[in-house]
Amino acid sequence: MRPWVLLALAACSPSREQPPAAHHEGSGSASRHSIDLTVQYARISIRGVEIARSGKNLELGYRIEGTPDAVVPAEILCRVHGYNLIYPRTTSGKGPGPRLTALFKPDPFDDVPQICEVRFTLVSGGVPSNITNPDRVFAAPSPSPIARACFRDELLVDGACPEDSFPVAEKTNIDLLQGRPDIQVEHGKLELGDDAAVLTAMFTKHDIASQGRYAVHLSCADAGGPIVGEAAFAILPLDRMEAGTSVYGPVPILLDRKPKPLAACDLRIISRATQGPPNERAHAEYCVTTAAIRVGRCTPN
């Protein structure tokens, strides 16, 4: 992959690992106050959880105690600019041992989130022997959280946020639904390189009835025939997101050759079954250029 694509991914990555920060449990500081969480269905402990602001970014810290094979990543959901925004998790190194930290820079807005919920999931290890059906609790690709914490008005507390913290638009609102794709793409930009494109945008999931894994298909007009490419949502968690949630970040797409700088490209978001016949379902169609994104095909059939 070209160096410019790697730079774009580094700049747009929704979460960045940071060196362990100084930690003072029980210090009494409102900005660095840490708590231990109530954990369900697992033989691990989640201790010293704290959130601090760095500008509009959020810095999360926590420590895992328990079986050495446990992997416990954290994901943050915040109410920002009218969106229920997920700040994606990373799983690498998220096990017992040293203090874990991550800096989340999740969106293109200037708003500072006022309420967020931190969700901890058990990706592997730590399932107690008295759970007779662990697949029910930790079924891929969306395991249930084993612990939650709510961050509101600079205070972090054990447990989920109130039920009305992350409202979802009513499906019965016809004016809202008319012409709206299953996957809504907003606040986006397209960058074109020699052999790849990077689409960075806000993706909002309105329908959870996918066939399986989501993918982006890009077809750019060219005199020598369409320039095409396809990519899965490798960085963004669209496959396991709930309806009514959004995520912001990049999708790199390898192309068979370089498009012209002002090429118009048809963007399709599809899903394919992971088992059985390779059924394909279309969820959205957009016309994208380096200057604009609009709903619908560039050249209608």
pLDDT for 201-223, tens place per residue?
Answer: 999 998 766 667 899 999 999 98
Q: What is the pLDDT of residues 50-108, one digit of tens each?
A: 999 887 788 999 999 988 888 999 999 999 999 999 988 888 889 898 999 887 876 88
pLDDT of residue 24: 41
> What percent of the chain stands above pLDDT 70?
77
Structure pTM? Answer: 0.81
Q: Bigger pLDDT: 112 or 248?
A: 248
**In the block, which residue shows the tokens 């807005």?**
109
Apex CA 250: angle with CA 114 and CA 281, to 5°?
A: 100
Domains of the chain: 24-165 (2.60.40), 174-295 (2.60.40)
Long-range contacts of 27-33 (CB under 8 A, 24+ apart): 30/154, 30/155, 31/154, 33/155, 33/156
- Whether residue 9 has pLDDT greater than 60: no
What does each C-alpha distance from 152 to 8, 78, 79, 117, 256 come to in angstroms?
Answer: 32, 10, 10, 9, 47
Helix (H, G, I), strand (E, B) or coil at 236: coil
Q: What is the pLDDT of residues 161-201, one digit of tens each?
A: 999 999 987 654 544 445 678 899 999 999 998 889 999 99
Which band of pLDDT confidence, cut at 50, 70 and 90, is reported for residue 123? confident
Pairing of strands 83-87, 245-254: parallel
Q: Bigger pLDDT: 211 or 154?
A: 154
Which band of pLDDT confidence, cut at 50, 70 and 90, is reported for residue 297? very high
**In the block, which residue shows the tokens 């997101």?**
241
pLDDT of residue 210: 63
